[in-house]
Structure 1
Amino acid sequence: MKEEDVARVYKALKDTDLATMEALLKEYLNEKVPPIVILNKGLIGAMAVIGQEFKAGQVWVPDVLLAARNMNRGIELLRPELLKNRVEPKGRIVIGTVKGDIHDIGKNLVTTMMTGAGYEVVDLGTDVPQERFIEAISKGHPDLVGLSALLTTTMLEMKGMIKAIRDAFPCLPKILVGGAPVTQKFADEIEADGYGEDAVRAVEIANRLISLGGEK
């Protein structure tokens, strides 16, 4: 794909023009562009640009979520071709908002950005107790677990959650924490493997933890 092709996908995602985006992807498939190239350079590449714009304050959360809707539709269109070629995700991530906290906007944004970056994400939702995280990790064998909290009271739940996960799975997975009240200092205190200040940074940390075998 040429840069102008990526720009066309980017514009369709950002303008939330679902019909144009679908037509573009079908056009590229008809031109025999490999689906993995369309995914990585087109959808994921365009979403990465939108993520950087969000980080710079040029677009807002609703813009990112709407773009993600189109991206997810694009992934669904590509899925049959991707399955034929056995395209594997970059890694698997289990994410959820900790017990006692029902806020999900930040978590949803991180889920969107992780999916856009090529990860398979299992979203457990909000108010998730330790038992559900343990069960999901046991079943899915993720490379990374993401814990989210929006309240100073519920972020304290992360400490017990991390201990429970480490007791059950001493070697893996790696644990990433984030949320409005969470800081790097707090993440260090509860011995998390990484701290995502925002959705874009969360993806960057996930990439590093997974690609480097978990080294901080």
Structure 2
Amino acid sequence: MNQELLPQLSECVEFGKINLASPYPPAMKGKPGADEYAQQAIEEGITPNDILDELIGAMNKVGQKFSENKIFVPQMLLSAKAMNAAMMHLKPFFMSGAVQRKGVFIIGTVFGDLHDIGKNLVSMMIEGAGWEVIDLGIDVKADKFVEAIQQHPGAVVGISALLTTTMVNIKPVIEAVKTTSANTRIIVGGAPLSAEFAQSIGADAYGRTPQDSIKWLDSISN
């Protein structure tokens, strides 16, 4: 077994090297990326759980760098895409039950809001942290969140808004979800939101950054 495979995979995720064809980062141009290393790791018999642990560790590093303003959203998105490319090779093992996820996370941008970059970033980061993510997309009405909760009992819900004009739409969604399933945990996020606002509308948590959201999710899954 190639002992360098997992460190190489981790490096690709940390620095956003998606696959062999990816020109970014320039220092790694022409080299394999997360896609190829994950496939090779599976072929060489490295366990899917060990690969997942490596991906989670790499994304933790990325999240920490972001929290310290050492990298910014474009770099984070590339890392998340690299992680996603590697995760595609683990999907069959998730489906078979050979690898267990930490839980199910349902996410969507609230109705009236068509922004998705922040939501997509959070989705990819949380998937990289070991959760199954159900992405409902943008402009998501309350009944769609409720339906998703009914299909995935015990799931955690994330609601995003980017505008001050749409952040007020989160409250009726929370009310609808809590009416259907009082024990469902809900985290909210987005540029105009705050911890105080989240508390005022009945959310269980506020995620200022993807890393904040992951830390909270891990705290309630243990």
TM-score clears 0.5: yes
Q: Cα gap change, 1:137/1:81 in structure 2, threshold over 3 Å: closer, same or farther?
A: closer
**Alignment pair present for 1:135 and 2:147:** yes
Q: How many Å separate the matches in 2 of 1:122 and 1:206?
A: 15
CA-to-partner distance for each residue in 1:108-132, whole Å, 9 max, x for gaps? Answer: 1110110010000111111111111
Contact 1:111–1:121 (8 Å) recurs in 2: yes
Q: Report the alpha carbon displacement of residue 31 of structure 1 after superposing the two structures with TM.
A: 4.0
2:138 match: secondary structure: coil
Count of residue pairs the alignment pairs up: 209
Q: Report the alpha carbon displacement of residue 26 of structure 1 after superposing the two structures with TM.
A: 3.8
Q: Report the alpha carbon displacement of residue 15 of structure 1 after superposing the two structures with TM.
A: 4.1
Contact 2:110–2:139 (8 Å) recurs in 1: yes
Q: Cα gap change, 1:25/1:186 in structure 2, threshold over 3 Å: closer, same or farther?
A: same
Q: Report the alpha carbon displacement of residue 22 of structure 1 after superposing the two structures with TM.
A: 3.5
**Alignment pair present for 1:106 and 2:118:** yes
Unaligned runs of 5+ in 1: 212-216
Q: Report the alpha carbon displacement of residue 143 of structure 1 after superposing the two structures with TM.
A: 2.3
CA-to-partner distance for each residue in 1:8-64, whole Å, 9 max, x for gaps? Answer: 223222141413233433443344321211111x22211211111112112221222
Q: How many Å separate the matches in 2 of 1:162 and 1:85?
A: 31
Scaled by the length of structure 2, the TM-score of the pair is 0.85
Q: Which residue of 1 aligns with 2:8?
A: 8
Q: Cα gap change, 1:200/1:136 in structure 2, threshold over 3 Å: closer, same or farther?
A: same
Q: Which residue of 2 aligns with 1:97?
A: 109
**Alignment pair present for 1:145 and 2:157:** yes
Unaligned runs of 5+ in 2: 21-31
Q: Cα gap change, 1:148/1:69 in structure 2, threshold over 3 Å: closer, same or farther?
A: same
Counterpart residue identity of residue 117, structure 1: A
Q: How many Å separate the matches in 1 of 2:204 and 2:219?
A: 11
CA-to-partner distance for each residue in 1:131-172, whole Å, 9 max, x for gaps? Answer: 11111111122421001111112111111111111111122x
Q: Which residue of 2 aligns with 1:87?
A: 99
Q: How many Å separate the matches in 2 of 1:82 and 1:97?
A: 26
2:193 match: secondary structure: coil
Scaled by the length of structure 1, the TM-score of the pair is 0.87
Q: Cα gap change, 1:38/1:196 in structure 2, threshold over 3 Å: closer, same or farther?
A: same
Contact 2:5–2:41 (8 Å) recurs in 1: no
Between Structure 1 and Structure 2, which shows a larger proportion of helix residues?
Answer: 1
Q: How many Å separate the matches in 2 of 1:82 and 1:109?
A: 21
Counterpart residue identity of residue 35, structure 2: E
Q: Which residue of 2 aligns with 1:204?
A: 215
**Alignment pair present for 1:44 and 2:71:** no
What percent of counterpart residues are identical? 39
